Structure 1
């Protein structure tokens, strides 16, 4: 099993906190509801920084590596894929609940309504 590094653990904690804040503040009817969106932007920035920064010295020669197949990045790729999918689902849910107005059913004829 692949060992999780410090950055991956930080990403997991940040995304759990972000999802909790989004869940708590989505339906609040005051300006405090934007805390969830701010947390989402911060989590996205942290994810991009921690995944795009180089993790080891790039000057190492190919002969110094002992293994031909390295699965060290597999856990990172799986976690990042999960985070991207949950981010897209969250965006769709925010779009549905915040942007689209509710449409209520209306009776066809008013005279039949008591």
Structure 2
């Protein structure tokens, strides 16, 4: 008897590559939140759609920030990420990923430490 294999989508299929052009004051007009100093990954906060100019892609609130100009930023404090962005040329390339809903555990797996 053969088993039916369910194909699950890998998180890499949810990665978003986006080019954002800064405004007149060299601001991205995208709120960044979280960061290692808060024990979190950096993520996209409020996006001011009326002020953001995209060259490619689009950002959504709540997406995790993976890279800035090809530099991995997971595990960095927010002030370091903002400094990286500050010294980038326009447009700024951001790589983000949509967060999953919640983790699902099989009921037969005991999650208590041994």
Does the pair score TM above 0.5?
Answer: no
Structure with the bigger percentage of strand: 2
Larger of the two Rg values belongs to structure: 1
TM-score normalised by L of structure 1: 0.24
Structure with the bigger percentage of helix: 1
Greater relative contact order, per chain length (Cα 8 Å cut-off, separation 6+):
2
TM-score normalised by L of structure 2: 0.24
